[in-house]
Structures are given as structure tokens and as C-alpha cells.
């Protein structure tokens, strides 16, 4: 019995460490990968609370539950009244063969601006097909299959491309004034290059005049340090609710999101030949 209690306490302590290290992405990108488990770890901490243990350990577990759930759950359930800009974001998938269906969905969405990732020679003809309603287009071709684009109904007055794949940014002359829109495509988390590509993206975002909207495939959850650093660079909030947009062998991942100064309300579109759902968000340009 004593051994079982010791094992329970050791397991609880490991859970606490896992939750805390998930907030240490600024120290090492491996901890940012751990942040993907923040909510499940908080649930495990809650379950462990039903077992007998010391008051101090129980208080620490309760704090871990509040910390883990408090920084994730609000993004999953919240909404915000916003109608300054409607943006459609989609990782097209470089081999997409359902371009007519995707183009039709974009047309039906009523979006003012479209951000696209994985623009390739295979799917690039769709951009030309949409020129009748999105005549102003900016494409950064980082590789043969990994282009990033911004499409707009209104004139684009300035453009930027990050020096490696991360961001394609366009300043658009909207009715309420100029707005920078950044289409984002980051690398996968550690051991891949998500942290580095987020740094590259942040360097670009810091140079943009407010207001800024960013949207795309971040390849990591919105509460991760890499995304939070990008939010901080442009003073942004995520449009809610955040939902899974990519299925990794049965595991739903929240990879695609939209961020704006005042946040916004997000809804989700079908796969339409891609491996990612699309995101359609109405956002606020004021904090």
C-alpha cells in the first residue's frame, strides 16, 4: 500500500512537471511541443485529485488544472462580435485535385481577403480563376510546392515575403484604411523547425504597421509559445472558437487559426481536396 501511494505521488509530481514545462517554450522548443498536451495533462491532474494525498500536493495539482485549462479552454469555447473584415484561410495541399470545389467555397464565403498555403504548380491555376473577384494577389514562392499567398478584393499597396518559408504579407487599402494581412505557414514542432520559422514570422510582423491580421497553418496549437510570440509581435488575439483542422492518424490537431487585434469569430469549412479544413473568420481590427 505504501509503495502504491509513493507511486501515485511520483506520478502526480511528473504530471505537475509536464504541465509546467509546457509553458517553457521560450527556453527550448521541445517544451513547446509538450504544450500540445496541456489540456489532456490538466484533465489527468484533475483525475488524480480524487486519490488521497497531502494537502500541498493537492493544491499544486489544483493549480496545474487551473493553469492548464485556463489557458486553453477559453480559446475552444469563446466568440467575439466582429465584422470589420472577413478572411478565409486554407492550406490548399500542394496536390489538390478538387480546385473547382475549393474555388466555389471561397466565392460563396463572401471573404474580403483569402490567405492560402501550399500553393504549387498543381493548384496555382485556382488563383487565376479567382482573379475576377480577387484581382489583387501576392504570392511568395518559397519552393515548388510551398508557396504562400494573399488574395484581396481591394488594392494591395505594399508586400513582403519572409526570407524563408513563414509569411507572405500584403498591406491592403480597405475602406476603413490600410490593413496588413499576413498569410502564415510554419514548420512542424520540435524536433522540426516551428520555433525558428515563428521567429522569422515575428521579425516580419514587428515591421508591420497596425492593424495586422494573420491567418494560416501554424502547425501548432494557438497557445504554444511560438504562436504567442507572433501574437505579441503584432498585438493580436485568436479568433474563436478554435477547432481541430487536421487529422494526424486519428488525432485531431488545432493547426489552422486566424488572429486579429480584437480577435473574432471563426467557423470551419470542408476539406475540399486538402488535408486541412479551411477557416472563415469575421475579425475586429480594433483592440
On whether both 192 and 235 belong to a single domain, the answer is yes
As a whole number of angstroms, the distance between CA 269 and CA 216 comes to 14
Residue 173 has what pLDDT?
A: 97
On whether both 44 and 166 belong to a single domain, the answer is no
On whether both 236 and 198 belong to a single domain, the answer is yes
Residue pair 151/170 in contact (Cβ under 8 Å)? The answer is: no
Q: Which residues pair with 167 in a beta bridge?
A: 184
As a whole number of angstroms, the distance between CA 30 and CA 258 comes to 24
On whether both 218 and 149 belong to a single domain, the answer is yes
On whether both 133 and 197 belong to a single domain, the answer is yes
On whether both 100 and 205 belong to a single domain, the answer is yes
Give the residue from 71, 97, 126 where a domain finishes: 71
- Other CB atoms within a 10 A radius of the CB of residue 273 amount to 16
Domain residues for the domain of 174 are: 81-283
CATH code where residue 105 lies:
3.60.10.10
Residue pair 17/43 in contact (Cβ under 8 Å)? The answer is: no
Is residue 154 one of the residues assigned to a domain?
yes
Counting the structural domains of the chain, the total is 2
Give the residue from 36, 71, 106 where a domain finishes: 71
What's this model's pTM, rounded to 2 decimal places? Answer: 0.94
Residue 4, C-alpha cell as written in the block: 502504491
On whether both 64 and 96 belong to a single domain, the answer is no
Mean pLDDT for each 10-residue chunk of the chain (287 residues)?
Answer: 69 87 94 94 90 85 93 90 94 96 98 98 96 98 89 98 97 94 97 96 96 98 97 96 97 98 97 98 94
On whether both 43 and 138 belong to a single domain, the answer is no
Give the residue from 71, 105, 127 where a domain finishes: 71
- Sign of the Cα torsion 203, 217, 75, 78 reads positive
* H or E stretch at 63: helix 55-70
Is residue 141 one of the residues assigned to a domain?
yes
On whether both 118 and 19 belong to a single domain, the answer is no
Residue 272 has what pLDDT?
A: 98
On whether both 42 and 110 belong to a single domain, the answer is no
Phi then psi dihedrals of residue 48, to 5 deg: -65, -25
Is residue 199 one of the residues assigned to a domain?
yes
Residue pair 194/178 in contact (Cβ under 8 Å)? The answer is: no
On whether both 161 and 252 belong to a single domain, the answer is yes
Q: Which residues of 136-147 are buried (b: 16+ CB within 10 A; e: fewer)?
A: bbbbbbbeeeeb
On whether both 67 and 101 belong to a single domain, the answer is no
Residue identified by cell 509546457 is 22
Is residue 34 one of the residues assigned to a domain?
yes
Residue 270 has what pLDDT?
A: 97
Residue 6 has what pLDDT?
A: 72
Is residue 39 one of the residues assigned to a domain?
yes
Cis check for the bond before 129: say yes or no (omega within 30 of 0). no
As a whole number of angstroms, the distance between CA 168 and CA 183 comes to 5
Residue 4 has what pLDDT?
A: 65
Is residue 76 one of the residues assigned to a domain?
no
Amino acid at each position: 500500500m505504501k509503495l502504491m501511494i509513493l507511486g501515485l505521488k511520483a506520478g502526480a509530481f511528473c504530471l505537475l512537471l509536464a504541465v509546467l514545462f509546457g509553458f517553457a517554450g521560450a527556453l527550448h522548443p521541445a517544451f513547446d511541443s509538450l504544450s500540445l498536451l496541456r489540456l489532456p495533462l490538466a484533465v489527468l491532474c484533475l483525475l488524480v485529485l480524487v486519490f488521497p494525498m497531502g494537502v500541498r500536493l493537492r493544491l499544486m495539482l489544483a493549480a496545474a488544472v487551473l493553469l492548464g485549462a485556463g489557458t486553453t479552454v477559453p480559446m475552444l469555447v469563446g466568440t467575439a462580435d466582429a465584422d470589420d473584415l472577413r478572411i478565409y484561410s486554407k492550406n490548399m495541399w500542394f496536390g489538390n485535385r478538387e480546385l473547382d470545389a475549393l474555388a466555389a467555397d471561397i466565392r460563396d464565403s463572401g471573404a474580403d481577403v483569402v490567405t492560402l498555403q501550399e500553393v504549387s504548380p498543381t493548384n496555382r491555376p485556382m488563383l487565376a480563376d479567382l482573379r475576377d473577384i480577387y484581382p489583387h494577389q501576392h504570392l511568395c514562392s518559397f519552393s515548388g510546392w510551398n508557396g504562400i499567398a494573399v488574395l484581396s478584393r481591394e488594392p494591395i499597396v505594399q508586400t513582403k515575403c519572409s526570407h524563408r518559408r513563414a509569411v507572405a504579407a500584403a498591406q491592403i487599402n480597405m475602406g476603413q484604411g490600410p490593413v496588413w494581412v499576413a498569410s502564415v505557414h510554419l514548420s512542424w514542432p520540435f524536433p522540426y523547425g516551428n520555433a525558428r520559422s515563428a521567429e522569422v514570422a515575428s521579425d516580419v510582423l514587428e515591421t508591420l504597421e497596425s492593424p495586422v491580421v494573420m491567418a494560416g497553418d501554424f502547425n501548432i496549437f494557438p497557445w504554444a509559445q511560438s504562436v504567442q510570440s507572433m501574437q505579441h509581435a503584432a498585438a493580436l488575439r485568436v479568433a474563436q472558437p478554435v477547432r481541430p483542422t487536421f487529422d494526424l492518424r486519428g488525432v485531431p490537431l488545432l493547426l489552422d487559426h486566424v488572429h486579429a487585434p480584437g480577435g473574432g469569430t471563426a467557423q470551419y469549412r470542408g476539406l475540399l481536396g486538402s488535408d486541412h479544413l479551411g477557416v472563415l473568420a469575421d475579425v475586429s481590427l480594433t483592440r
